Amino acid sequence: MGYINTREMLVKARKENYVVGAFNIVDSATMSAAIKAAVIKRSPLIIQTSQKTVLQMGYKILPAMIRALAEDAGVPVSMILDHGTDMEIIKNCINYGWSSIMVDGSAKPFEENINFTRTITDIAHEKNITVEGELGHIGGIEEHINVNEDDVLLTDPEKAVEFQKRTGIDSLAVAIGTKHGLYKGVVSLDFERLSKIMKITDFPIIIHGCSDLPEKDLKEIISLGPSKMNISTEIKHVFLDSMKKYLEENNNEYEPIKALNLVSVNTENLIKSYMDKFGSTGKA
């Protein structure tokens, strides 16, 4: 229990056929809300920090916060750098206390992605820090990641096995048609591709871009057995919508703590709902 890396957490999820939710926080209020949700639901939890959040809050503050909160939580909690593309930021997160790193070399050619990911994996594993790699390129916009439709590249199942063996990663994010951001129009996901990836791999598989998925698509992905699914955009919307609601309803009151309390409550409720959907409730 307490602050751990993602290795055992995700292997257990794959074996027992549930998903661990990974939630992108933006401040201390959303981090605290996520951990409170995990405690109430008795669920494992992965806190994600984007590169932008890391630079905003600092390399010392984030690990100190999560260690303090996880120590008393009584559930397994991990913190992962999400979409690490900058080598300096990645190395600093490794050195300052992140328990897991997500390496995003997906925009690079296959061999360059392998070399980039392998380099970081070797450094991280020396400190017992787990590594998530990415093969394939999902669309949409999230923080510094911006991929248009023409650049989307779905994951080749056969290359997924080779990629894991040659990089030594602990888990792999794959592209099946999900996108960063909110979905517009018809959602078209390649469930057959994911099914094949699950059949030929024996390591944890990750799905990014799960905010705002239609319920039937979300259920179908979960049924196929990935170990981790990411929720980011919805948390940003909850944060700003909560602030907006507070200001609209209390336009003559200036109490930031009350506004942040509303953010916390609404973030907690969102995360608890996903823990139930993912099947991780009671799995701590």
DSSP assignment string, 190-233 = -HHHHHHHHHH--S-EEE---TT--HHHHHHHHHH--SEEEE-H
Angle, CA of 15, 75 and 284, to the nearest 5°: 30
Please report how the helices 28-41 and 61-71 are oriented relative to each other, as an axis angle in degrees rounded to 10: 20
In a domain, residue 172? The reply is yes
In a domain, residue 218? The reply is yes
- The pLDDT, as a whole number, for residue 186 is 65
Tell me the two tokens of residue 22.
């990974």
- What secondary structure letter does DSSP report for 244? H
In a domain, residue 36? The reply is yes
In a domain, residue 284? The reply is no
What residue numbers bound the domain in which 58 lies?
2-278
What pTM, to 2 d.p., does this model score?
0.92
- Over residues 245-273, the pLDDT tens digits come to 999 999 888 899 999 999 999 999 999 99
One of 82, 104, 156, 170 is an active-site residue; which one?
82
In a domain, residue 283? The reply is no
In a domain, residue 247? The reply is yes
Q: Parallel, antiparallel, or unpaired: how do β-strands 179-180 and 139-142 relate? A: parallel
User: What is the CATH classification number for the domain harbouring 126?
Assistant: 3.20.20.70
Rounded CA-CA distance 98/130 in Å is 9
- The pLDDT, as a whole number, for residue 251 is 82
Across the 284 residues of the chain, what is the mean pLDDT of every consecutive 10-residue run? 94 98 97 98 98 96 96 96 96 98 94 97 98 80 45 82 98 90 70 96 95 93 97 96 95 91 98 98 97
- What secondary structure letter does DSSP report for 127? T
In a domain, residue 270? The reply is yes
- Over residues 169-180, the pLDDT tens digits come to 999 999 998 886
- The pLDDT, as a whole number, for residue 184 is 60
- In DSSP terms, 282 is beta-bridged to none
Rounded CA-CA distance 116/94 in Å is 15
Residue with tokens 């995360």: 271
In a domain, residue 250? The reply is yes
How many domains is the chain partitioned into structurally?
Answer: 1
Q: Answer for the pair 98, 132: CB distance below 8 angstroms, yes or no.
A: no
Tell me the two tokens of residue 95.
């050195």
CA atoms in the 13 A half-sphere facing the CB of 57: 22
> Is 104 in the active site?
no
- The pLDDT, as a whole number, for residue 141 is 43
